């Protein structure tokens, strides 16, 4: 389970199309395709949103945002601090 970080809002930047996520085990990569609120959802709970994501082999899958985050972590949560700062263009400690 995703134990290293808090659950992210499905309407936040980590769920923007193209964002990179990794399985909690670290051996599966996937990228966000889209996030949509379920048509009959009446609240704004994390599981009221469906996340469509793509694996490296091109296959696409959809899970609700809560279930997705139990299995996957955003790469900013898994990268070490130096690597992350390098990717986002910040070099200060």
Task: State the pLDDT confidence band at 83, using cuts at 50, 70 and 90.
Answer: low
The residues, any chain, with a CB within 8 Å of residue 92's CB and separated by 6 or more, are 85
Q: What is the pLDDT of residues 7-48, one digit of tens each?
A: 899 999 999 999 999 998 888 999 999 999 999 999 999 999
Task: State the pLDDT confidence band at 93, using cuts at 50, 70 and 90.
Answer: very low
- Whole-model pTM? 0.78
CB 54 within 8 A of CB 73: no
Tokens standing for residue 6? 């808090």
The Cβ of residue 12 has, within 10 Å, a number of other Cβ atoms equal to 11
Q: Is 72 helix (H, G, I), strand (E, B) or coil?
A: strand
What are the percentages of helix, strand and coil residues in the chain, rounded to 5?
Answer: 25, 30, 45
The CA-based angle 17-93-24, given to 5 degrees, is: 40
Residue 3 has pLDDT above 60, yes or no: no
H or E element: which one contains 23?
strand 20-23
What is the mean predicted confidence (pLDDT) over 56-84?
Answer: 84
């Amino acid at each position: 389970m995703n134990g290293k970080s808090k659950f992210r809002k499905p309407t936040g930047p980590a769920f923007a199309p193209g964002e990179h996520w990794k399985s909690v085990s670290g051996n599966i990569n996937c990228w966000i395709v889209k996030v949509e609120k379920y048509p009959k959802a009446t609240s704004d709970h994390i599981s009221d949103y469906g996340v469509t994501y793509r694996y490296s082999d091109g296959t696409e899958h959809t899970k609700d945002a809560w279930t997705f985050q139990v299995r996957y972590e955003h790469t900013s949560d898994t990268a070490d601090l130096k690597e992350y700062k390098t990717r986002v263009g910040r070099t200060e400690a």
